[in-house]
Amino acid sequence: MKTAEMQGTAKALVAFGRGILAADESLPTIGARFAECGIESTGESRRAYREMLFRTPHIAESISGVILFDETIRQHADDGMAMIDVLRRQGIIPGIKVDRGTEPLAFLPGETITEGLDGLRERLEEYRELGARFTKWRAVLKIGHQLPTMPCIAANANLLASFAALSQEAGLVPIVEPEVLRDGDHTLSRCEEVTSQVLRTVFQALGDHRVELEAVILKPNMITPGTRCMDRISTEQIAEATLRCLRGSVPSEVPGIVFLSGGQTEVEATERLNAINLRGTAPWELSFSFGRALQESALRTWNGLVANVAEAQAAFADRARLNAFARNGLYDSEMEKNQHSLVCN
């Protein structure tokens, strides 16, 4: 019963023409994003910002699910409605980030482990009770001189698998996110090599933990060169490397792959998602679960002011719609003209 429900949820999250909004920034992360715009980060400003996003008219046409942060799932909108009900009323599936961030690994300098397994079974039960239907856990891998190490990859893969198994036990679809960071001067092929190794290790661990792959969503990075790499790489090369990596590492039972944006610009992330979807058939749906690449223009337009809500919602709706086109391979850069998403205060 739970398995059928989870498979249905997973399919709905990656349905044609829709994708996921990651609005689960932790307190330090949202604080940093707000600070860039001169907005003070308080419980109330975070709530108002996220309510603005969630109440965007007709947003469910492009957005299938939203990943919430623990604070938000307990908050209420201005009119007293639970934030999670604002989403459900829109026809959007609510999800929840359940990891508790990263900590340095002892004796492995520069590498981290993700925390949050303690008490997770009880927290998952509560989240399901509150209305969440899917979960997310992010592991972080850094490319560098002799990095990532095998112990770091293995430890993070095992934690992702434990998280995924516990989520499915609670009837929640796990989004498994092993993010290989873009920071560094590494080449495209080094990113492909590391990401392939990480993904293979993650799927080995998921199998070992008896996780149902038909009820898992993978959230990987696209294959890109490091942010300080000087190579000139085309959108097509990124799409080709990304698909080659996924074809070699992700079992076909997985219903969908949703990319993180990882600090790419809004337009870069959309163009690359489109190019990936244009490159012929794949066994999985290929969609998005962007944080920054869906919110950047909307946040700048909102700027903490009630007077800007309608304009910020228009910017968010535009970006979501363009990514929905890209997720179907139907985006064209001409569509960027006359978008509210180019408005910046």
Q: Which is nearer to ligand 13P, 6 or 22 (CB)?
A: 22
Q: Are strands 93-97 and 63-68 parallel, antiparallel or unpaired?
A: parallel
State which of positions 284-313 bind ligand 13P (CB under 6 A).
Answer: 290-293
From residue 245, give the alpha-carbon distance in Å to each of 137, 207, 238, 307: 21, 19, 11, 45
CB 160, min distance to ligand 13P, A? 13
Amino acid identity for residue 296 in this structure: E
Alpha-carbon distances of 123 from 67, 139, 163, 172, rounded to whole Å: 16, 19, 12, 12
Q: Which of 25, 177, 192, 296 is catalytic?
A: 177
Residues 222-261 binding ligand 13P (CB under 6 A) are: 260-261
Contact string (CB under 6 A) for ligand 13P, positions 5-24, x = contact? -----------------x--
Q: What string marks each residue from 154 to 193 as x (binds ligand 13P by CB under 6 A) or -?
A: -----------------------x----------------
Task: Check if 212 is active-site.
Answer: no
Residue tagged active-site, from 25, 219, 266, 296: 219
Nearer to ligand 13P, 261 or 277 (CB): 261
Nearer to ligand 13P, 3 or 180 (CB): 180
Q: Could you tell me which residues come within 8 angstroms of residue 267 by beta carbon, excluding any fewer than 6 positions away?
A: 333, 336
Using an 8 Å Cβ cutoff, are 339 and 318 in contact? Answer: yes
Q: Judge whether 291 and 234 are in contact, CB under 8 Å.
A: no
Q: How far is the CB of 307 from ligand 13P (least distance, A)?
A: 27
- Shortest-Cβ-distance residue relative to ligand 13P: 291
Number of residues that bind ligand 13P (CB under 6 A): 10
Instruction: Calculate the CA 131 to chain-centre distance.
Output: 19
Give the integer Cα–Cα distance in Å for 46 and 33. 11
148/291 with CB nearer ligand 13P: 291
Note if 177 is an active site residue.
yes
**Cα distance between residue 65 and residue 336, in whole Å:** 24
Give min distance, CB of 289 to ligand 13P, in A: 6
The DSSP symbol for 147 reads B
Measure CA of the first residue to CA of the last residue in the chain; give whole Å: 49
**Contact in structure between 68 and 83 (CB atoms under 8 Å):** yes
Shortest Å, Cβ 293 to ligand 13P:
6
- Which residue from 138, 182, 321, 327 is in contact with ligand 13P, where contact means CB under 6 A? 138
Closest CA to 225 of 266, 183, 267: 183
Please state the closest distance from residue 262 (CB atom) to ligand 13P, in A: 4
Q: Which of 184, 226, 256, 262 binds ligand 13P (CB under 6 A)?
A: 262
- If one counts every other C-beta atom within 10 angstroms of the C-beta of residue 118, the result is 9
User: Considering the complex, what minimum distance in angstroms separates the CB of residue 292 from ligand 13P?
Assistant: 3
Helix axes 188-208, 235-249, angle to 10 degrees: 30
Q: Where along the sequence are the contacts to ligand 13P (CB under 6 A)? A: 22, 138, 177, 260-262, 290-293
Catalytically active residues, by annotation: 177, 219
